[in-house]
Amino acid sequence: MSSLFDAAKPRDEVLARLAEQLPAVVLEALFPEMDEARVRSLIWAGYGSGKKDNEVVAAAAPALKKGGHLSLYTDRASRGNPGEAGAGFVVYDSEDQEIAGEGVYLGKCTNNLAEYQALVHGIKLVAQFTPDHLDLYLDSQLIVRQVLGEYKVKNLQLKPLFQQVMSLLAPLPSWRIYHVRRELNKRADELANQGIDEK
């Protein structure tokens, strides 16, 4: 007599699907050295392959293009302030070709908290490419001026995120941050809204 367990999907697929449902914050806590999107891709890359996690990571690593001059655009989307929020971040190479991008759901938070979280997520993604130089573009003038040291960070909720941004930027050989108009940040905004829509 066949059991329910016999009829179930293979164990690896079940585990992969369960992991797929974990929130971004949980994956970040479990795998602080990797971006959430990277963790999810490795989970599925390993599904059914019979490879151990470290073998999957090693196999996927050569796909990352190292060094060079990269650009990072980040943005937030929010439906209320505070309200449902998403973060969008997209990386371009020196020829303005998109090489990575993602939108993530952040839950309920303020606009400025969402802007900072988008920047944190984006820098973590860029770190995988170990750029020689990084240009960062945001349409939040407040965040840009705080990172440049022109404004002090007085908000107690923003301070830890500001400190995280600065610690993530510290290992980079060279970086600059710029304020851009919202219409020049459409792709990151699109991904941020996608993060909310696909929560």
Task: Enter the pTM of the model.
Answer: 0.68
Whether 96 contacts 166, CB under 8 Å: no
For the CA atoms of 40, 46, 51, 55, what is the dihedral angle to 10 degrees? -40
Element (H, E) at 56: helix 53-60
- The whole-angstrom separation of Cα 184 and Cα 73 is 9
Q: Which domains does the chain have, with CATH numbers?
A: 4-59 (no CATH), 69-197 (3.30.420.10)
Six-digit token pair at 192?
Answer: 């941020």
As a whole number, the mean pLDDT across the chain is 80
Tell me: pLDDT of 14 over 60: no
Whether 8 contacts 14, CB under 8 Å: yes
Tell me: pLDDT of 30 over 70: no
Q: What is the pLDDT of residue 16?
A: 56
pLDDT (mean) for 146-169? 96
